[in-house]
Structure 1
Amino acid sequence: MKELLQGIDTIIIRVSSIRKAATWYKEKLELSALWEDEGLNLVVLDTNSAVSITLWQTKEPIEINKKTAAYPIFKTPNADLLRAKLELKDVEVDEILQDDHVRYFFFYDPDGNVLEACQVIAH
């Protein structure tokens, strides 16, 4: 099985409006589209890593529970600077949290999907 599972290709994030979400991710996070499919109402975004994010429109209500939701974690070299830049772009951001190994914060797309940014602290 190990030879057949070759890593994570993409992470699906369900959205209520593909146009609104795609615009938000492109403008606020400065991610570019790798592929768009209007028929399927999805956009695949380049995350500057091997794993992409696929925004996929759904007609179902999007119900987010931050305590149980799966979500992507973006790497960042500077959590404080990224948080400040997102805040300037009117992105909803939580306060920065820190433990012995990382500084991180949660932020949210227009549908309330949970996203996280994480900075590893060098020791």
Structure 2
Amino acid sequence: MFERIDTVCLTVHNVEEASDWYQALGFNLAFKGQGHHVFTIGNSPTPLTIAEGNISSPANTTHPIFFTKDIKDTYEKLKEKGVEVSELEYIGDVTFFDFYDPDKNKLQVCHFE
């Protein structure tokens, strides 16, 4: 089902300003998307993603993003287990959905080629 933690995502007020700050700390900008940037950190296989959003909103808390080879299968398996899931979303080549633990902590699953 899950293959790895794909990224850790932090919500920021302004992605461009935050990106400058992270780069000043030595993070390497690997990808600029609409409203989000992805950084590599040293030799770590897990990047850091910053995404622009409303920090005061509980839905925009820091959350792990898991990668899966078959997102539709993972989605169905979680639903079958009674896990609360959002709808599948598509942004470019990335497909993802949120799911929640019993304490309502948000987690996310993604797939891309």
Provide TM-score, normalisation by structure 2: 0.50
Partner in structure 1 of residue 85 of structure 2: 93
Kindly indicate whether residue 65 of structure 2 is the aligned counterpart of residue 76 of structure 1: no
Equivalents in 2 of 1:109, 1:102: separation in Å? Answer: 23
> How large is the Cα RMSD of the aligned pairs?
2.6
The CA deviation string for residues 19-74 of structure 1, in whole angstroms up to 9 with x for no partner, is xxxxxxxxxxxxxxxxxxxxxxxxxxxxxx88xxxxxxxxxxxxx701x2000000
Tell me the SS of whatever aligns to 1:95.
Answer: coil
Alpha-carbon shift at residue 79 of structure 1 (Å): 1.1
Alpha-carbon shift at residue 6 of structure 1 (Å): 6.1
Which structure: greater strand fraction? 2
**Greater relative contact order (Cα < 8 A, sep 6+):** 2
Provide TM-score, normalisation by structure 1: 0.46
How does 1:10-49 map onto structure 2 within 5 Å?
Answer: none
Q: Which runs of 5+ in 2 are unaligned?
A: 1-24, 27-40, 47-56
- List structure 1 runs of 4+ shifted beyond 4 angstroms: 5-8
Equivalents in 2 of 1:82, 1:74: separation in Å? Answer: 11
Kindly indicate whether residue 58 of structure 2 is the aligned counterpart of residue 65 of structure 1: yes
Tell me the SS of whatever aligns to 2:82.
Answer: coil
